[in-house]
Amino acid sequence: MDKQLVIMTSLLPLLISTRLVSAEVTPEAMPQAKTTPNHVQTNMLAAEHQNLQNVQPVKPTSPINIHPEHPILKSYFSESSVTTSPYLGLRSAWDGSDLIVNLPSINEDFRLLQHRSQLTSKLHPQARSFDQHPLLEISGSLAGLISWSKPNQQTSTTDIDLGTAKLDMLGELSSKILAFMSFTYDSSDKSSSGARVGYSRLFLKRGFIVVGDTKTYATIGQMFLPFGHYSSSMISSPLTSDLAQTNARALLIGGAYKNLHGATYLFNGETKTSGSGINNWGAELDYHETYRPFQTKLQTKVGISYISTLADSSGMQSTGGSDFAGFDHIDGTTNYQYLQHQVPGINGFLHIQHGSCTLKGEYLTATRSFAYENLSFSEHGAKPAALQAEISYRFLGFKNPLSASIAYNQSWQALGLNLPRQSWSIGLSHSYFKNSIASFEFRHTNDYKLSDTASGQGNLVNSTGHHSNTITIQFKVYF
């Protein structure tokens, strides 16, 4: 009885945890705080297990490996189960960076396959079979924020808002099939009176099925297409994301070989030039490598991607502007989704991490100009582009993870899309409590010149020629 009680105690973390393998998470993985009581308790538990037959000693950051024939283990895995992440290990990352909800949304299907590979490799080969015992993993986040904004020559505004409410569900349906759904809510004002609470809507942001493994896989459903990378430590999104991040329903084929990963996809875009049907495609290729030129390792990742149309991006479909609301807009009998010709885009990014310092750079541009009647800038067809450069440093502050960041963003010929000409930001994030991050950001933006003009689908867009300052404080929790 005593042995079974001890083993049941060791199984408890397995009932409530999953660990992700991706080092590229948002927010970034930061140094982990060490708490003496947890270490002491874990070491004591490991010592008690050393004299138990067929049970491995417990390590502070390693999952428990128990023989599959143990009756308690067989009883637990005899039925399907639902769990919150992280699933592997005794403890999750202090800042919640290893939770499913913080998985990068670009190439999310591949990250989930890596997660499953890590999960199955840590368990005993016969301890669990997803073919017989599917697993549902649940993760989510909530964020409250306070903001102050002061446009030049205008009165300042303040706000309190629920910035994020998100629920992710991952179904490990079999050894070769995954199903993923991500629900979120729309916090924007959808009413003419300005009321927000009564108009908050819950909707499916992403939902897809993945078949295969990390070597070769296929994905079908609604997802962020792998065009660009858009990684940032700031509260506000980079201009590259505002310009080109694309959420669409697609069929994707991908795979990896050693440090090389690639994917290609087809999708039926919202914008049309003529007719209807599957009219767009894209592809991406990235490579990562780890070097050890010094005592600490140097991690690098570089990637390039192509998409046959930029006009389907979220930032072009809905600009948030009053003059030109975006291509996803119907003015009377005029459907703004019809374009004179497609405008492809190309993206390149580079990430370098050395110790606690991370450098990120990304640039994207249209490969040709829009037709003047669809999107213009200074009396000619616009050819929008954007740049992001960011540096972050991670360290321990008050014995818990802390990160300081500086970012610079710039856009070109994007006035018609309601984007600023340039911005720079400074940010500070601190994980004082477990599975939470408190963040501060100061952002300064400059609009396009007063002499610059633009239009979208015939609607004139003028620049203010001014600048603005915004301070945002956010408290975000994860599970």
Domains of the chain by range and CATH?
2-478 (2.40.160.10)
Would you call the peptide bond into 86 cis, given omega within 30 degrees of 0 as the criterion? yes
Q: Are 222 and 203 in contact (CB under 8 A)?
A: no
Question: What gap in Å lies between CA 130 and CA 160, rounded to an integer?
Answer: 44
Q: Residue 40 has what pLDDT?
A: 36
Q: Are 440 and 428 in contact (CB under 8 A)?
A: yes
Amino acid at 77: F
Amino acid at 9: T
Q: Are 215 and 176 in contact (CB under 8 A)?
A: no
Amino acid at 187: S
What's the distance, Cα to Cα, between the start and end of the chain in Å? Answer: 33
Question: What gap in Å lies between CA 45 and CA 244, rounded to an integer?
Answer: 50
Would you call the peptide bond into 226 cis, given omega within 30 degrees of 0 as the criterion? no
Q: Residue 91 has what pLDDT?
A: 55
Place of tokens 């909707």: 203
Angle, in degrees to the nearest 10, between helices 2-16 and 36-49: 130
Q: Residue 20 has what pLDDT?
A: 37
Q: What count of other Cβ atoms lies within 10 Å of the Cβ of residue 287?
A: 14
Query: What pTM was estimated for this model as a whole?
Result: 0.80
List the 380-381 sheet strands across, edge first. 380-381, 375-377, 453-456, 459-462
Angle made by CA atoms 161, 166, 167, in degrees to the nearest 5: 155
User: Per residue in 149-164, is it b (16+ CB within 10 Å) or e — as a string?
Assistant: bebeeeeeeeeeeebb
Sign of the CA dihedral running 85, 89, 92, 93? negative
The candidate with the shortest Cα–Cα distance to 223, out of 244, 184, 252, is 252
Place of tokens 């952002």: 443
Could you tell me the two tokens for 166? 């998100």
Place of tokens 């079979």: 129
Q: Residue 330 has what pLDDT?
A: 63
Q: Are 425 and 392 in contact (CB under 8 A)?
A: no
H runs (alpha helix) in 269-395: 314-317
What does DSSP assign to residue 330?
E
Q: How far is CA 459 from CA 19, 327, 463, 465, in A?
A: 49, 11, 13, 19
Q: Residue 19 has what pLDDT?
A: 37
Q: How far is CA 375 from CA 244, 344, 380, 453, 464, in A?
A: 15, 14, 9, 11, 19
Could you tell me the two tokens for 60? 């502070």
In the predicted model, residues of the chain with pLDDT beneath 70 are 1-80, 85-92, 122-129, 189-195, 330-334
Sign of the CA dihedral running 36, 38, 39, 40? positive
Distance of CA 190 to the CA centre of its chain: 25
